[in-house]
Structure 1
Amino acid sequence: MDTKRATIPCTGTLFDRSEYEERQRRVTEAVERAGLDALLVTSQSHLRYLTGDSGASTYFAPHPLILSPGREPTFVVRKFDEESIRAFSCIDGIIPYTQAYELTTVCGDVLRRLNLHNKRVGMELARSSLAPADVNALQQELPDLKVVDASKLVTCVAAVKSEVEIEALREAAIVTDLAINTFYELLREGVTETEMAAAIRKKVNAAGKELAPPLNVPFGERLRLPHARPANYSIRMNEAAFIELSGVSRDYCAPLCRSAVLGRYPGLESLHKVAEEAIEAAVETIKPGVTTGAVSAAIRKVVAQGARPEALRSRTGYQIGVYWSDRGDLSIEPDAEDVIDMNMSFHIPIILFDEGGYQIGCSESVLVTEHGAEILSRTPHTLHRA
């Protein structure tokens, strides 16, 4: 049998090949600007961004994508998944390995063949998909290899969205709004978190859409448990509810946090007002040329004036795009120096905690335009009262 003719062509990418090739070109240019000879991409979301492949099999061992100026991309993948990766990625140069321990040898052979074995090669050292043992083994295989941390290189390129990415973000925001409005419609005394989560998923799925995990929907006493999975806890009168979720379109997410009160809860209601004002300060501050640290400062100034300093326990934003969030992405946090540019997109969650440790707050997903921040949601971030 002619194995080449039997190979399944790439048919499963979510965007046209030209979109991925443009992303690879931009990353390769960034590799050159960084003074590197190549980049080994191993982050699951970065592989999705650059190739279309989900990276679902990287649990077995890293699947390094090797990008080097003047060379075609090379994907080192597990043999078991080779045909799936050919079908669901846009990479033609695929080199397989069979057992996890073979990765180092095979990857080393590829780097030798590309004459990169003694060059400056960037690696995503701060990403969980690349273990220290992987790096050590490769350096033992190639003792003259010069490993450079390039964890944020793809992040910074991917932060600026193309037109098709922006379209996907807008589509995801529509799904998010559908889910949030379902939450408002169904919130009543006695409904449980699990019932609410199931009803939201059912409504979204019935519309032919989907949500990206997780779906956080704590009620009442469980507001003290951020990111807790839905439980069989029913909301009662004069309790609050919080929801955080994201619709997804072509892997692109537009997350949102919203809060509601069933009856009255004066303490949390006043705290939510502070979160609303902080969101509005962030939207007012975001524009091309401003740093993410400056946006953080504007948010924290509002919180400091309107609530206890300890009410805010986390950073106040991060870039969004492929998947929901990733360690090492651009972050809206104190003293951060990343410069905001046009067509970047961020999720800005302002989650505050009262003296009893109960969370309340809201968020917006925004797109940076030449005029400032465009809010993607059509659901107001004011507190919902049921």
Structure 2
Amino acid sequence: MAAISQEIPLTGVPFPRSEYERRQLGVLEAVVSAKLDALVVTAHGHLRYLSGYDGSGGYFAPFPLILVPGRPPTYVVRKYDEHAVRAYCCIDEIVTYTQQHDFGRVCADVLRRLGLQSKRVGFELGCWNLAPADVSAIQAQLPDLKISDASRLISSVAAVKSEVELECMRDAMHMTDLAVRTFQSSLRAGVTELEMVAKMVAAVQADVSNIGGEIGLSPSMTILFGERTKLPHGPATHHAIRNNEPAFLEIGASKHGYAAGIVRCAVLGRHQESESLHALAEEVIETLIAAIKPGTTAAAVDAAGREVLERSGRKDVFRQRTGYITGIYWTERGNLSLEPGVEDILKPGMTLHMPNILRSENGYLIGAGAQILVTEHGSEVLSKVPHTLHLA
């Protein structure tokens, strides 16, 4: 079983086993610091971070990775997916279940075998891929199990990237920039949102061989034209842009799951409302970039941007958080946010997505975002495409 990745082409983990062991050790140290006896990991991004396997089979039921200080990790997975898990992960101890109703019993059996039936165990209660029914099924089997919320534990460790992770982020950013430049050069009257998506995807695919590895554009990109820029996270359609309309783009490429996203906007012709608001967005993002440095709190960075909005007299154009930690998986829950009241400390090696999206009086969304690496002495902007408004 352990040699599956050597038998099937294009399988295996993207990083050396020592990298995964480093990550697991860091998480186990956090488990001890949190006074937990073990951690049950179910968020797909966190599974990939610790094991290499992306958790994609976990739509069926959770695939918990159980970490106990002083013991090798144990992976509990659906039997149907066992070969895929073994082919794409670095975990040796794998236990399987067959049906959804088997999950609670099998997972409880593993926890019992590890001597955890009455211990304090962390679960990712605030992350994706763990339903209340899943937790109840385990608790029904182990009534003395002390379940604690550990949603932020892995994200606090994974927030600081290693050099191999930062290399993935830089490669992903290179592809994101390529997609943005394609968007800018292809903007013309009559082009539809879906046609623009196809152009960006084709440009990235044509350049993938220069980067290597598993890389591509995130399917969660947002590309909107004209009146449709009023729709947060709206899907791309056959709607075409016309002269004197704005265009909104939030996009990110990823390599081995490490996503680097930015927001870039454009106007075809002139659109005074969008142009005026984008000028404010540029002032905000430049202030945010200047505020980022190691030792600063997330709340302090957020406050710097809000101060600019307050001075402008247009603070109501901003309706969200300032930014959040990026890395493996763009939309994982439980990661550090740049928002009021968050006292997490920025550290060198963290990467941040600051979309900085503003809403105009008539509802148009305009943004000038940044993907930032926190460095020893401040910050580094990873994108090479300027955050100024593109006028086509």
8 Å CA contact 2:2–2:86 kept in 1: the answer is no
* Structure 2 residue 65 is the aligned partner of structure 1 residue 65: yes
Return the match for 1:246 from 222, 230, 252: 252
User: Residues 3-40 of structure 1, C-alpha deviation per residue, up to 9 Å, x if partnerless?
Assistant: x5875559421111111111000000000000000000
Return the match for 2:274 from 247, 250, 268: 268
Please, which runs of 5 or more residues in structure 2 have no aligned partner?
209-214
SS of equivalent to 2:224: coil
Look up the match of 1:108.
108
8 Å CA contact 1:271–1:307 kept in 2: the answer is no
Residues 124-273 of structure 1 mapped to structure 2, 5 A cutoff:
124-208=124-208, 210-273=216-279
Look up the match of 2:315.
309
Q: Tell me the CA shift for residue 215 of structure 1.
A: 2.1
Provide the C-alpha distance between the structure 2 equivalents of 1:158 and 1:249, rounded to a whole number of angstroms: 16
Question: Would the alpha carbon gap of residues 304 and 174 (structure 1) be closer, same or farther in structure 2, given more than 3 Å must change?
Answer: same
Provide the C-alpha distance between the structure 2 equivalents of 1:134 and 1:256, rounded to a whole number of angstroms: 35
Provide the C-alpha distance between the structure 1 equivalents of 2:143 and 2:186, rounded to a whole number of angstroms: 61
SS of equivalent to 2:219: strand
8 Å CA contact 1:217–1:230 kept in 2: the answer is yes
Provide the C-alpha distance between the structure 2 equivalents of 1:291 and 1:233, rounded to a whole number of angstroms: 42
User: Residues 81-100 of structure 1, C-alpha deviation per residue, up to 9 Å, x if partnerless?
Assistant: 11110110000000111111
SS of equivalent to 1:214: coil
Provide the C-alpha distance between the structure 2 equivalents of 1:66 and 1:372, rounded to a whole number of angstroms: 37
* Structure 2 residue 53 is the aligned partner of structure 1 residue 53: yes
One-letter identity of the residue aligned with 1:212? S
SS of equivalent to 1:218: strand
Runs of 4+ in 1 over 3 A off after TM superposition: 4-11
Provide the C-alpha distance between the structure 1 equivalents of 2:287 and 2:342, rounded to a whole number of angstroms: 17
User: Residues 135-184 of structure 1, C-alpha deviation per residue, up to 9 Å, x if partnerless?
Assistant: 11211101111111101000100000000000100000100000000001
Provide the C-alpha distance between the structure 2 equivalents of 1:222 and 1:175, rounded to a whole number of angstroms: 26
Question: Would the alpha carbon gap of residues 321 and 335 (structure 1) be closer, same or farther in structure 2, given more than 3 Å must change?
Answer: same
SS of equivalent to 2:198: helix
SS of equivalent to 2:234: coil
Q: Tell me the CA shift for residue 309 of structure 1.
A: 2.1
Provide the C-alpha distance between the structure 1 equivalents of 2:257 and 2:3, rounded to a whole number of angstroms: 29
Provide the C-alpha distance between the structure 1 equivalents of 2:51 and 2:96, rounded to a whole number of angstroms: 16
Provide the C-alpha distance between the structure 2 equivalents of 1:113 and 1:354, rounded to a whole number of angstroms: 58
Most deviating of 222-231 and 173-182: 222-231
Q: Tell me the CA shift for residue 207 of structure 1.
A: 1.4
8 Å CA contact 1:193–1:232 kept in 2: the answer is yes
Provide the C-alpha distance between the structure 2 equivalents of 1:68 and 1:378, rounded to a whole number of angstroms: 43
Question: Would the alpha carbon gap of residues 98 and 382 (structure 1) be closer, same or farther in structure 2, given more than 3 Å must change?
Answer: same
Q: Tell me the CA shift for residue 190 of structure 1.
A: 1.4
Please, which runs of 5 or more residues in structure 1 have no aligned partner?
none
One-letter identity of the residue aligned with 2:306? R
Provide the C-alpha distance between the structure 1 equivalents of 2:313 and 2:158, rounded to a whole number of angstroms: 35
One-letter identity of the residue aligned with 1:141? Q
8 Å CA contact 2:353–2:371 kept in 1: the answer is yes
Look up the match of 2:80.
80
One-letter identity of the residue aligned with 1:268? S
Q: Tell me the CA shift for residue 133 of structure 1.
A: 1.2
Question: How much is the aligned-residue C-alpha RMSD, in angstroms?
Answer: 1.3
Look up the match of 2:212.
none
| TM-score under structure 2 length normalisation | 0.95
Provide the C-alpha distance between the structure 2 equivalents of 1:290 and 1:5, rounded to a whole number of angstroms: 45
8 Å CA contact 2:37–2:69 kept in 1: the answer is yes
SS of equivalent to 1:213: coil
* Structure 2 residue 367 is the aligned partner of structure 1 residue 361: yes
Question: Would the alpha carbon gap of residues 307 and 183 (structure 1) be closer, same or farther in structure 2, given more than 3 Å must change?
Answer: farther
Look up the match of 1:334.
340
Q: Tell me the CA shift for residue 316 of structure 1.
A: 1.2
User: Residues 231-280 of structure 1, C-alpha deviation per residue, up to 9 Å, x if partnerless?
Assistant: 11111111111111101112111101101111111221111011111111
One-letter identity of the residue aligned with 1:22? R
One-letter identity of the residue aligned with 1:48? R
* Structure 2 residue 301 is the aligned partner of structure 1 residue 295: yes
Most deviating of 100-109 and 301-310: 301-310
SS of equivalent to 1:90: coil
Name the % identity: 53
One-letter identity of the residue aligned with 2:183? F
Most deviating of 322-331 and 46-55: 322-331
